[in-house]
Structure 1
Amino acid sequence: MQRSLACSVLAVTLASTASAQVFIESVFPPSIQRGEVNRVTVLGANMLGATHLWLTLPGQTFEAKQVTDSTTTAATFEIEVAADAPLGLYGLRLATRDGLSNAHIFAIDQLRPVAENESIDSAVPNNKREQAQEVVLPAAVFGTCTDADLDYFAFDVAAGETVAFEVVGNRLGKAFDPVVTIFKGNGEFVAEHDNDVGLFFDCRFQHTFKDAGRHIIRVRDTRFLGSPNWTYALRMGSFPVARVALPSTASPGEQLLIDFPQTDGGPREIAFPEALTTDRFFVSLRGDNHNAPTWLPLSVSSLTNTVEAEPNDSPDEATAATIPGNLHGIMNRRGDGDFFAFDLKKSQRLEFRTDTRDSGSAADLELTLFGPDGKKLKTVDDVGFEDATFDFSAPADGRYTLKAVEVVRQHGPEYVYRIEVKERQPGITLTSEIGRIAIPQGTWQPLLLKLARKDFNGEVKLELVGAPEGMALREPVIGEGEGALTGGLVVDESMPAGIYTLQVVGTATHNEKELRSVARTQPLIDRLPTGRGPHGEPFELREDQRRLPPSLTDRIAVVVLPKAPYDFEVKTELVTLPRYLETTFEVETTRVAGFDAPITFIARGGELEQNRLRKPSIVPEIPEATPDSSLVVARLRSGVNTTLAKQRITLTGTTVLDGRTINLTRTFEVEVKVAFAVTAEPKKLELLPGDVAKVKLLANRLAPYNGELKIAPGQNEGIQFPEEVVIPDATADVEVQLTIAADAKPGTYKIKLPTETRIDKFYESGEGEALEIVVTEKKEEAKEASE
């Protein structure tokens, strides 16, 4: 738990300190029209000195140029996106002279952009039907939902005309929960639409208008909440309202007929990309009678597809499936249950994984596996926030049957699913707690990686993909059996300043097969993605924070900054902290000639952070570094309920030069221990019945503790040992006598040495290390026993 907390803090700390961090609150407009030059304003905090925009669009499909110098709250760019750029949701970050911002989500669209007048000029409101802003369809209206805001837009339709509507708001990573209401021009209610599963709290639907003429659409938050940062795109026109596909996956480069159950016109041939950095991507969809496209997620897989063939509502009617493979289906009526049958060999090991949420489906599946004799072997529902998944080893040869049902027996065209069934093979999964790094030329910043292993314990080699010459990993290997690496990213002094995109790839070899994993990230989007209840209970990440655009979670953004005028190192990698006491550690700073500004430090991570309602239990005290004090002696103080464990700590040094804030981060570990650990000397004695021996009990105190220790040794039958031993203040050890009874039974005995004391106002105890006594038989007795 402590390591996880430290990792999260490290991710936030690397770009800059919390007080000076560049942060994007919103992007306006939140959608960019492809094939055009778009003027985009990034709004937020600490944006002075903006230099570049980092975007996750593929290849050379965009160009971003800064229009004017940024202010503290805004930076404006002209972004030109290629006409063939794929539609969908992507990520961007703002680079400044100080570092990189959080990630923010935006959309690439083809619809003509129209700005809400009120968002540009508050003197032109559209909060009443009478003030509705006129819009010519098709269009994408960009608006802002402030607190208790009602946004009205008017448009004309023909009798019998079908118009598609979509709000892209919650998918931008904000807590906006839009609901749209359609009225006739005279105010008569026509329709209302709220969430569509697969779009988080957003919606995508169509309506056929009975009457011609002027109509009005209203956009608001369902709770009447709002924020100046809640921007949205209201898409209106003629486009498919599909959110799901069947099947939803194919091999890279394959042309495949895909059905979109929420649209008319039957299956359509879709070309799957040959080269992707992610397994999932957005595909554009547009019919012959549409004036605009929409987008929805698909994925690539090398496994064979099996699509259910109705009727398959019983084991006897089960759809025959190829395993390994992808099993696809749809819950098309209430209570529908789909069966798939496949042959397995004894001890064949498989992994079953359901894919619904990430593919936009409303289905929540329950899976049940039956053996060759028809007996139920396993039933699985959700695993935490994720879809059903489980491992299985076949107990016998034969034909097995898998049943898929919707948990609450819902059905409809949006209830499609995919069940991935693959052979369980050794594998690795690499994740990076860092999604962005700001590095001055000629130095390094930490890069924390975690490695999940599956049936493989060997060495994993690391490489950078997309990194230019002069950028490298400090530690290119995760050692055998290791599950994490606190490494670093190094840039050469000659490396040009600017923004870069890279991937960290782990590879290994097992039984002559390559294991490969691209490090995944989970960038911070919203400023407050989590919170705490009145009793400290955690609120989980919102769906819009957990399920991010695929192009945002497989790469790391890097900004290389001009050379820093200082550097520093923590002189020890492991600092031992006695619980309820304090300890010191040293920080060595170096400076370029002529630089004399102070360097301040902030230590974070582990129990230096507040945990729910509990205050930090470790408090740092770190003086600033000056030209006259290059060696900084820092202190850590342990308070109540400090956990006895190793904790990863980040130390960020900050200075200001010519208006530029410069941050460097280093890491070290703090191990919190009991301030004493009583042991015996010698630790083991071999004695005969009737023997008397003396042994020293050593205090083994950790500085600065020097107090009295009270030991209550464990008692063993046949061994006489003091029931209480005191090691006085400032005394390193005491000598005690033990006696083995004449009739003591031979064997091995342990004398435990539990110890207690008071440290300041705290009661402290420790187990110490037990004294081992081996009682052996006398030679005469052993001889008699053998005779």
Structure 2
Amino acid sequence: MTRPPMAPLVLLAALSAGVADVPARAGTPTIGDITPAGVPRGEATALTISGGNLDNNPRLLAPIPVEVGPAPEGQASDAGHWRLTLTVPADTPVGTYPVRVRTDDGLSNAVLLAVGQVPQVVEQEPNNTEDAAQAVTPPVVVDGEAADNDVDFFRFPGKQGDRLVIDVRASRIGSGLDPTVRLTTASGRYVASDDDSPGFLTDARLIVALPEDGDYLIELSDSQYRGANRPNYRLLIGAIPVADEVYPIGGRLGETVGLELIGGTLPDPVVAAVTLEAPEGTARLWPSIPGLLAGVPEFDIELPGALAIGRSPELREPADPEAPPLRVAPPATINGRLELEGDEDQFIVLVQPGKTYRAKVEAALLGSAIDGVLRVLKPDGGQIAQGDDAAIPLSKKGRNDAVTMNSPDPLTEFAVPEGVTEVTLALRDLSSRGGIGHPYRITVEPVEPTFEVELMAPEASVPRGGAANVPVNIARFGFDGPVTLSVVDPPAGLTVRAGVVPAGQTAGVISLLAAEDADLPGDPIRVVGTGQGPNGPIEVAAETMITFASLAGFPTNVRPQRGLPVANALPTPISVESPAGPIEVVQGFSAEVPLSLTRAEGAAAALEVEGVSPPGGLTVAKATIAEGATEGPVTVTAAPDAPLGPALVAFTAKGKVNDADRSFAVPAVAVEVVAPASLSLAVANVELKAGESAQVAGTLARKPPFTQEVTVSLDGLPAGVTAEPVTVAGDATDFTLTLTAAADAAAAEAAAKANAAFKLGDADYPPLSAPLTVKVAPKE
């Protein structure tokens, strides 16, 4: 079944009941927890969002339609708690969705909110013994918490032969709990247990056929009795249609994909079609598959995970196991599954000798049980490369200090030996497992010089009439050229200063400026980096990896976010403006950037201004803007070897306003790093006869404040021709070179050049040069 694409981010105002009206800017909102951690669709649910600065006209942002209502009677909101009722439409796909709070002060961090389809109850303490077990009636979701060494018990009635799912969702909803679950009869007879279920991160899931009529007990706790970092869980109990496998586990954006669902509580395979469309900012899709296809019309079929959305052509392994291996021309994505224990799937990839390729497996992080091992083989069976667990960069991509997450999904790069035009990709499970629940995707592509654009902030709050600076990291993979940053179609009221990340450098910035009447709803903006590669233009959309759950410091639930959600915030008491530029900065010297300030009444504080990760070769000296002053300069200095060309420099201003430390973003300024001087000659060619002289005039065009003495000389002259170096004084620009041909100089012609030599600081500056063709004519 095809469902229309999800709506774009929806912004809905909360009703004002119980929410204090705070006119002054208190700081951007933050979310620490949402309780309960999910809602049943189609039903108004009381919700508490806990965190900070939540009391200035809060609204909820979500990638699905939502309806926000007032808190239940008697429940008031405050800065630390926004209490509301939330309703999502009854046809919303079951899954987890990132949500944020937008207030008049800006935009919060993202937290996952689960959407379910069965009645929901909240865990009631004390339920930490069998005798105190909380009674529930399936189908049900219990929304609870197991902090520290808490153990929770639940009792439910069942009948012999009932096929149930008992699914503890923790890391999948952004929790730091590592759950373990145990099922017994009320009399204590063991039925089943689970800890880490393959394909479910650190979560636990049972699918059981009940052995007898009567009551059953569920025991749930953290496996190490140290539940922390938002130790929430959602316990699903019931004869709900759930699949152990959806195949394929992804597809190409915009295409309609035929899906096969098997295993779990499904008695027979189910086939459905889904169109892979998703709003800006999302990289995965929760489809809605009606349970009617499985004979359970009152429910949708729940999937192991969201579907991946790819960009390459998609292929599937042959359905006939006796068919020859699929032949693939990169770039392409292969969809397959390990259908039997010990299975190893093989594919032929057409390659070019001497070229490097990348093969990436997606499985475990998409809900598959595979712990993959990928081999790359030559036609004679010899191994070229092997990939096992891969380190996924979460932040500071491409750098030695990158923050990474260890993934069971393999990735390998391999160089094709000479004479080899095809290789075999062979994928198996590390423990030789297979069967239902073992689908995968392999993307193989040539390794070309490229880069990635990483936003070093997951969201931005831009004060009206002010600015916000977002650092950008350029991860370079064989590409060393300049990267131009831009925002595609910024919304009304938002202007952008981006610019160029110089060749070979990684640090960039974009400045977002909001008009005084801007109304930026929090939708993601599309940030793009472009560069000129060896085979044509390279265009890369920016991403951020967001960690929603971690366990003992190790990330367990990480999702990519495409684009940058942006909302406006209240005006700040001080706004600092800067010129757009460009401002010339001479290598080895400094230039002043004039700043102007607009101060609200009472905001007369002195400010310290400093640079925000300036590009390599540029430094920003700390500057002080005096108390009450409305203007002041900041100094940018270029090192003698600073890369020539455009760059972008952003600043931040800090001061104590109304007894509180405050920071104010200063919009980035475009600078142009230039050489201290340029050298030119009045002519490009000179001819002289043996025994004669000729003069060539030249100009040394200086860039203030460069006043060093410069020595100009000629080299590469024909044999028998000489020219004495000349000195150009610090206050001079013009010079004359005299060339003399010896009386016995032979006829000749040479490509000579004039060189201007000088020092910047204690180091020799690379000589400036100008070409000069010198010809010696025969003597008459």
CA contact (8 A) 1:272 1:300 kept: no
2: CA distance between counterparts of 1:23 and 1:425?
Answer: 40
Deviations 1:521-560 (A, max 9, x none): 123646xx698xxxxxxx6x4122xx22x5xx11322221
Listed as ranges, the matches of 1:744-759 within 5 Å are none
Match of 1:356 among 341, 363, 367: 363
Offset at residue 207 of structure 1 (A): 1.5
Match of 1:562 among 541, 546, 570: 570
The reply to whether residue 260 of structure 1 matches residue 262 of structure 2 is yes
Which residue pairs with 1:305 in the alignment? 315
The reply to whether residue 472 of structure 1 matches residue 495 of structure 2 is yes
Offset at residue 279 of structure 1 (A): 4.6
Match of 1:439 among 462, 474, 491: 462
Which residue pairs with 2:131 in the alignment? 130
Alignment coverage as a number of residue pairs:
648
1: CA distance between counterparts of 2:230 and 2:259?
Answer: 41
Q: Return the structure number with greater relative CO, CA threshold 8 A, min gap 6.
A: 1
The reply to whether residue 100 of structure 1 matches residue 104 of structure 2 is no
1: CA distance between counterparts of 2:266 and 2:184?
Answer: 27
SS at match of 2:546: coil
1: CA distance between counterparts of 2:352 and 2:428?
Answer: 26
Listed as ranges, the matches of 1:192-231 within 5 Å are 192-227=193-228, 229-231=230-232
Output the amino acid matched with 1:280. R
Match of 1:71 among 66, 78, 96: 78
2: CA distance between counterparts of 1:390 and 1:261?
Answer: 34
2: CA distance between counterparts of 1:161 and 1:562?
Answer: 57
SS at match of 2:365: helix
Which residue pairs with 2:740 in the alignment? none
Which residue pairs with 2:681 in the alignment? none
CA contact (8 A) 1:366 1:406 kept: yes
Offset at residue 114 of structure 1 (A): 0.9
Listed as ranges, the matches of 1:451-470 within 5 Å are 451-452=474-475, 457=481, 460=484, 462-464=486-488, 467-470=490-493
Deviations 1:424-472 (A, max 9, x none): 567653321122111111222112334456677576563335x431213
In 2 relative to 1, CA 155–522 (structure 1 residues): closer, same or farther, beyond 3 Å?
Answer: same
In 2 relative to 1, CA 193–587 (structure 1 residues): closer, same or farther, beyond 3 Å?
Answer: farther
CA contact (8 A) 1:246 1:261 kept: no
The alignment yields a C-alpha RMSD, in angstroms, of: 5.6
Output the amino acid matched with 2:555. R
CA contact (8 A) 1:589 1:625 kept: no
SS at match of 1:299: strand
In 2 relative to 1, CA 370–654 (structure 1 residues): closer, same or farther, beyond 3 Å?
Answer: same
2: CA distance between counterparts of 1:570 and 1:505?
Answer: 24
Deviations 1:609-641 (A, max 9, x none): xxxxxxxxx9x99979632x55789999xxxxx
* Range with greater deviation from structure 2 (503-512 or 266-275): 503-512
Offset at residue 65 of structure 1 (A): 4.5
In 2 relative to 1, CA 202–284 (structure 1 residues): closer, same or farther, beyond 3 Å?
Answer: farther
In 2 relative to 1, CA 32–196 (structure 1 residues): closer, same or farther, beyond 3 Å?
Answer: same
CA contact (8 A) 2:608 2:623 kept: yes
CA contact (8 A) 1:624 1:632 kept: yes
Match of 2:327 among 321, 329, 333: 321
Offset at residue 210 of structure 1 (A): 0.9
The reply to whether residue 542 of structure 1 matches residue 555 of structure 2 is yes
Which residue pairs with 1:740 in the alignment? none
Match of 2:52 among 45, 48, 54: 45
Listed as ranges, the matches of 1:604-619 within 5 Å are none
Output the amino acid matched with 1:54. L
2: CA distance between counterparts of 1:624 and 1:66?
Answer: 46
Q: Higher strand share goes to which structure?
A: 2
5+ residue gaps in structure 1?
Answer: 1-18, 119-124, 532-538, 577-582, 608-617, 637-643, 670-678, 687-765, 772-787
Task: Compute the TM-score of the two structures, normalised by the length of structure 1.
Answer: 0.67
Offset at residue 238 of structure 1 (A): 1.8
The reply to whether residue 377 of structure 1 matches residue 384 of structure 2 is yes
2: CA distance between counterparts of 1:516 and 1:304?
Answer: 21
In 2 relative to 1, CA 51–129 (structure 1 residues): closer, same or farther, beyond 3 Å?
Answer: same
2: CA distance between counterparts of 1:37 and 1:599?
Answer: 50
The reply to whether residue 23 of structure 1 matches residue 47 of structure 2 is no
2: CA distance between counterparts of 1:254 and 1:451?
Answer: 34
CA contact (8 A) 2:165 2:265 kept: no
Output the amino acid matched with 1:233. R
Which residue pairs with 1:486 in the alignment? 509
Output the amino acid matched with 1:328. N
Which residue pairs with 1:186 in the alignment? 187
In 2 relative to 1, CA 593–483 (structure 1 residues): closer, same or farther, beyond 3 Å?
Answer: closer
SS at match of 1:353: strand
Offset at residue 220 of structure 1 (A): 1.1
Which residue pairs with 1:164 in the alignment? 165
SS at match of 2:58: strand
Which residue pairs with 2:286 in the alignment? 282
Output the amino acid matched with 1:371. K
Which residue pairs with 2:271 in the alignment? 269
SS at match of 1:319: coil
Which residue pairs with 2:441 in the alignment? 418
Listed as ranges, the matches of 1:498-509 within 5 Å are 499-506=522-529
In 2 relative to 1, CA 64–419 (structure 1 residues): closer, same or farther, beyond 3 Å?
Answer: same
Q: Higher helix share goes to which structure?
A: 1
Which residue pairs with 1:591 in the alignment? 598
Deviations 1:482-533 (A, max 9, x none): 655312112222213654433324567879987543321123646xx698xx
SS at match of 1:384: strand
Output the amino acid matched with 2:556. E
CA contact (8 A) 1:431 1:450 kept: yes
2: CA distance between counterparts of 1:373 and 1:238?
Answer: 51
CA contact (8 A) 2:608 2:622 kept: no
Output the amino acid matched with 2:78. T
Offset at residue 49 of structure 1 (A): 2.3
Offset at residue 364 of structure 1 (A): 2.7
Output the amino acid matched with 1:150. V
Task: Compute the TM-score of the two structures, normalised by the length of structure 2.
Answer: 0.68
Identity across the alignment (%): 22
1: CA distance between counterparts of 2:263 and 2:610?
Answer: 54
In 2 relative to 1, CA 428–52 (structure 1 residues): closer, same or farther, beyond 3 Å?
Answer: same
CA contact (8 A) 1:328 1:417 kept: yes
2: CA distance between counterparts of 1:588 and 1:476?
Answer: 19
CA contact (8 A) 2:60 2:99 kept: yes
2: CA distance between counterparts of 1:381 and 1:334?
Answer: 19
2: CA distance between counterparts of 1:573 and 1:151?
Answer: 64
Which residue pairs with 2:518 in the alignment? 495
In 2 relative to 1, CA 591–417 (structure 1 residues): closer, same or farther, beyond 3 Å?
Answer: same
Listed as ranges, the matches of 1:696-775 within 5 Å are none
Offset at residue 770 of structure 1 (A): 12
